[in-house]
A = this chain, B = another copy of it.
Amino acid sequence: MDVVIIGGDAAGMSAASRLKRIMPDTNVIVFEKTKDVSYSACGMPYNIGDPSREIDDLVVRPAKVFREKQGIDLRLNHEIIKIDPQKKIVYGLNEKGEFEQPYDRLLIATGAKAIRLDIPGNNLPGVFVLKNLEDARRIKKFIQEKGVKSAVIIGMGYIGLEMCEALRNWNISVQMVKPNPRFLPNFCEEIADKVKQEVENKGIELYFSKINEIKLNNNKLHVICDGFDLHCDMVLMAVGVAPNSELAKSAGLETSIKDSIAVDKTFKTSDNDIYAAGDCADTYNVITGKKTYVPLALLANRGGIIAADNIAGKKETFDGIVGTAVFKVFGFQVARTGLNAQEAKKYGFDPVSVTIRSSSRAHRHPGAKKILIHMVGDKGTGRLLGAQMVGEEGVAHRINSIAVALHAKFTVKEYFQCDLAYAPPFGPVWDPTLMGARQLLKRL
C-alpha cells in the first residue's frame, strides 16, 4: 500500500512513524515543502530568547533517522499543489520541476499558517510572523545582526506573550498592541488582570487599538494605530493561525470551523481514502460534543497516530479535546481547561462560576505563593465545565486533574471527592482545585 502524507511536522511525522511501526511493508511517502521536519515548534520562543542556543537545537529527530532507521520515504522541499481524489494522485513542485504521486491512502497534515494582518506594510523587512523553523531562524538572525533594541508585538496571545519574554531576554524594549481591549479574553477578568499586571511590571507597554499600517521611516518601523504611532526596529505579528486547508478545499473536501478540514473521530475527511490531522483539521470538544478548532501540539501528535492506526485498519477513535492549555509568562504559570462562562452559555449550559485565592504550599510553609483559581459549573446538572488558574508555581500540572475530570464528565461534587495528593511543600491539605470546587458547590 502507498500512503502519501502531505506535511512533515507533528501530525505528519507521528503518522509516518506509526505506520512504519505497525505496517512495516507500507510505502510511506512524506512530502514536506520546507527543509525541516520534526521540530519542537512550541519551543521556538524559548530558543529565540536564549542567545546561547542554536535554532537547530529544536530538531527532535533529523530527516536521516526517519529515512534510514524508520524507512520513511521523506522528501524535503517538495510542495504539493493539487490533490486529485478521483485519480488518487497528488501533484507537486520541487526544485527540478513538477512531479506526481499516486496514493492508496492520503493524509493531509499541512498544519496552519500564522495570520498576517491585511494592512499596508505587513511584509516590510523587519516584520515577522512565527510559525515554522524558518521564521524562527529569520527572527533570531535579524535580532543578532541588526542589534534590535525595540520591538512591537501585534497580538497578546500565548505566542505574543512568550515572544515578549524572549525579546526581553535580549534586552529589547517591547510594546504590545491589539484591537480587542480585553486582555486574555478567554480568561476571567481577575486572572487576566493578574497576568496583565505581571507583564506591565516587567516594563512592557500594552496598547489597545486598531492597527492601520506599518511604515518604514528613517530605518525605524512605525506601527500606525488609531491616534498614535509605535516606533521600533522589529515587528512581530502574533495574531493567531489559520488552517492550511486550501489543497483540501480545492479537492472538494468538507471544511468546518475557521475553514479547518472536517474529520470524523477516526480523522477521516469526507473522502474515504483521505485523512487529515494536526493544525489543518478540526476535532470534537468532549464537553459540548461539538466541533472545534484547536491548533495545539498534543492534538497534532495524537491525530497523526490515530489517523495512522485507522489507515492501517485498526479502527481507533478519538473522542476529542477538552480545551486544556498552559503557558508561562515571566514569573507566572497560566492555565485553563474546559469552557469559560461565556463559552458555556453559548453551548446551552447555565454556567455558575467562582474565583478563589489559594496557596501553592501549606499553611505557613516557607515560599508559598498565591494561586488564583476560577471554576465554572453548570447550575442545572452540577456538572464541572472548566477551570482557569494563575500563580508563580503549582499551576501547570494542577490544571490536568480538572482536565481528566472533564473527560470523565464529572459533576463538581464528584471532583470535590477526588483523592488528590497532599504534602506541605506542594499545596494546602485541600488542593486549590478542591477548594474551588467546594466554593462552586455552594453556588450550584
Contacts and interface: CB of A to CB of B under 8 A. Distances in A.
Contacts of A60: 363
Contact of A362 (B42, B318, B407, B414): B42
A264 to B, nearest CB: 15
Contact of A399 (B298, B328, B407, B421): B421
B429 A396 contact: no
Which of A58, A318, A414, A425 has its CB near the most chain B CB atoms (within 10 A)? A425
A145 B235 CA distance: 65
B404 A40 contact: no
**How many copies of this chain?**
2
Interface in A303-333: 318-319, 321-328, 333
A298 B407 contact: no
A184 interface: no
A297 interface: yes
Nearest to A60: B363
A327 to B, nearest CB: 5
A50 interface: yes
B421 A326 contact: yes
The 8 closest A-B pairs by CB, nearest first: A408-B408, A326-B421, A396-B426, A400-B401, A397-B397, A404-B404, A321-B419, A43-B424
13 contacts: A46-B366, A58-B363, A298-B420, A298-B430, A301-B430, A324-B421, A328-B423, A396-B423, A397-B421, A397-B427, A398-B400, A400-B420, A403-B420
Given A53-B364, A403-B421, A407-B408, 6 more contacts: A40-B364, A42-B424, A298-B420, A396-B423, A396-B426, A396-B427
